[in-house]
Amino acid sequence: MTAPSRAQAPGNEARIVDDIVEKARRAQRTFANADQQRADEAVAAVAWSLYKPENARAMAELAVKDTGLGNVEDKVVKNQRKTFGTLRDLMRVKSVGVIEEDPAKGIVKYAKPVGVVAVVTPSTNPSATPVNKAMMALKGRNAVIVSPSPSGLDTTTRTVELMRDALKRINLPADLVQVLPGASKEMTAALMKSVDLVVVTGSQNNVRAAYSSGTPAIGVGAGNVPVIIDESADLDEAAAKIQASKCFDNSTSCSSENAVVILDKVYDQAIEALKRAGGWLASPERRETIRMALWPQPGKLSRDLIARDALVFAERIGLPDDAKRAKFFMVEETGVGKAHPFSGEKLSLVLAVYRAADFHAAKERVREILDFQGRGHSCGLHTRNLDRARELAEDLDVVRVLVNFAHTFGNGGGFNSGLNFTLSMGCGTWGKNSITENLNYKHFLNITHLVTPIPEDKPSEEELFGHLWTKYGK
């Protein structure tokens, strides 16, 4: 592996980045020839560093203190659930040596490391995301350098310290996992140019910077999940799932429902079910109050209101007493686009509600919402009619269509979902991403193909061109 050219950054930042990358390369060289058991030990050790109950709670508390986003109890769950689920997935797969054989094609695949990976992490998950990415990278015998969000710097730095201690405990180099000493854009840009792979979870500005760094990069798209409730759905079950997902960690997840599109036949009944689940429906006057508070400037969400507890949100806006007892807030919406901010991602316990005449209209509304924001990410459907789910999967430009799920708990992997656990959801070219699946260990591997001769597989001209000749002639 040839070392990249020196990163360009002002002052001492280039030298700092060069030193960190060189430490990572030295550590990775000692780890590159580890066997599967040793690689899996590294993964498990790093997983335990956050899953350990006292650490999961300490990092959750520190994250809320640092960022002001989300809530402690849900972050404890996230730290443990995501880590445990990812560990389950990783322990079931091979990432060293021969990982696949196809005798019929004469191909054997060998897994190799990619080298040093830069991981850019968001403020919404300053501990869960670094560990999640480090586990996947270490599975492939790589080294990781984490670039934290400025507001999550303390949490991410402490999380990396826990991972380093865990590696030392099993006699592996601590420098397999490092963190940038600061959160400057210049240092992150220098890091992106100096490594072998960049993985970005967070702002679209960071994703674009990664793709323009000149280094192979994987970024994820913006979330803005719309879900449909049709007339066949179990309305109370759908409402309970939407509430649980929407409220988890105060709606910090990119997979949190941002809009629900309800068919006219069951609109009133579904609204009542959502109310029973803890939703509060704003009057037109209160809707305007919420809009003005949540977007004090056009297109810019209020930092004081995003990802806050429901009571805090209601009190800061001045909502009435019945709203202060709610778990989440519903606003009726009729349009989509910049002139209708509720149609976009809100990063708060506010759910936009749309009425649709029929399923076709609901599908087209979902398409509009995704085209405005969240194209490629995902959508959901609560129904007993799986033909409708298949129609959404066939017609909409999304990577994931979830049926009868609490979206947050299925989209990024779940114990009742076949999707692998991750904190980064690829959105394909629709979302200007390079992957169309949940980020996983395979994205942290280089693959060598051993190819041996097989019996000739050469069809006749008639087999390949016959249908064309028959229809159009030669």
Using DSSP bridges, classify how beta strands 143-147 and 116-120 pair: parallel, antiparallel or unpaired: parallel
Using DSSP bridges, classify how beta strands 197-200 and 217-219 pair: parallel, antiparallel or unpaired: parallel
Paired tokens of 101: 């054989």
The values of phi and psi at residue 117, to 5°, are -115, 130
What single DSSP character describes residue 251? G
The values of phi and psi at residue 167, to 5°, are -70, -45
Distant-in-sequence, close-in-space partners of 396: CB < 8 Å, separation ≥ 6:
363, 366, 367, 370, 379
Paired tokens of 399: 């990577």
> How far is 319 from 313, CA to CA, in rounded Å?
9
What angle do the packed helices 153-169 and 36-51 form, to 10 degrees? 140
Q: Which listed residue (247, 254, 379, 427) is catalytic?
A: 254
> How far is 230 from 235, CA to CA, in rounded Å?
9
What angle do the packed helices 128-139 and 153-169 form, to 10 degrees? 40
Is 314 exposed, middle or buried, given 0-12, 13-18 or 19+ CB atoms closer than 10 A?
Answer: buried
What single DSSP character describes residue 28? H
Number of C-beta neighbours around residue 445 at 10 A: 21
| Dihedral angle computed from the Cα positions of residues 248, 250, 254 and 260, in that order, rounded to the nearest 10 degrees | 80
The arrangement of strands across the sheet holding 116-120 comes to: 177-179, 143-147, 116-120, 197-200, 217-219
Q: SS3 for 401?
A: strand
Are 349 and 328 in contact by the 8 Å Cβ rule? The answer is yes
Paired tokens of 175: 């420098």
> How far is 115 from 197, CA to CA, in rounded Å?
8
Using DSSP bridges, classify how beta strands 376-382 and 398-403 pair: parallel, antiparallel or unpaired: parallel
Paired tokens of 86: 């990812």
Distances (CA, A) of 64 to 58, 70, 312: 10, 6, 14
Are 180 and 167 in contact by the 8 Å Cβ rule? The answer is no
Q: To which residue do tokens 């430490």 refer?
A: 23
Distances (CA, A) of 4 to 8, 186, 474: 12, 17, 53
Using DSSP bridges, classify how beta strands 97-102 and 107-113 pair: parallel, antiparallel or unpaired: antiparallel
Task: Establish whether 427 is a catalytic residue.
Answer: no
Which of 387, 338, 339, 392 has its CA nearest to residue 364?
Answer: 392
Catalytic residues: 254
